[in-house]
Structure formats: structure tokens, C-alpha cells
Structure 1
């Protein structure tokens, strides 16, 4: 039995229930694969405002680290 979300509806529900955790993985994760998975889930199951907010946070993080956007 597969406990992972597979349908679009399951993915949207997973993202809704785990948005904060996915965002923490993007902000603080050291594992590139985990960050890529978080991005993919947010891309497929999140809304455009979710992605825009995360993009703004990443741009802010880059600015604080002195990385060109």
C-alpha cells in the first residue's frame, strides 16, 4: 500500500497540510534532493501566491547572503 500522495487532489491536500514544513526545507535544507522535492510539491500542489511568496523569501535570502538575484 502506498502512503504517498499520487493524485493531484492528494498532492494539493498534502501541500496544504505541510506547507510550513516544505517551506522550512526550502529555507534551511542542506540536501539538494529534499529541496528539489519540496519545490516540486509546492509547484504542483500549491497556488501561485504560495510560489510568489516563496520566491520573494528566496530573493530576500539571496540579498542577505550577498548573492546576485
Structure 2
């Protein structure tokens, strides 16, 4: 992870890969909620759309859909 200089948009940009990996694989709901909140507030729209799509896919898989 890169150092944090106070700019949340820059932090998300610099650490996007790590944050998405944590979001996808972490079992800690609090940490995942923090990352989602940061992405919604400071992330670029295409990234938010990717996260929404992944969340929908995960929900469908957990319900037994494809």
C-alpha cells in the first residue's frame, strides 16, 4: 500500500488493487463496509459499476443462481 497524504481519491487510486482484493476475499464485514463506503464516496464511476456488478454476481451465486 502507498502512503496516505490526506487525499482519499489519490489513496483509492494508488491502492485500488489491494482494496479490491480485500473487498473480495475478506471475511471482516466491517472492513468490507469501510472499503465500499470509500469507493462510493471517492471512487471513479467505472470502478463503482464494477463493484456493483461483482456484488450482484455474488448475491446471485449465494442464492443458487448463475
Q: In 1, distance between residues paired with 2:50 and 2:13?
A: 15
Report 1 or 2 for greater relative contact order, CA contacts < 8 Å, sequence distance ≥ 6. Answer: 1
* 2:61 pairs with one of 49, 64, 69: 64
2:52 paired with 1:47: no
Gaps of 5+ in 2: none
Count, aligned residues: 63
Structure 1 position 44, deviation (Å): 2.0
Instruction: Calculate the TM-score normalised by the size of structure 1.
Output: 0.74
Match of 1:38 in 2: 35
2:21 paired with 1:24: yes
Instruction: Calculate the TM-score normalised by the size of structure 2.
Output: 0.76
Gaps of 5+ in 1: none
Match of 1:13 in 2: 10
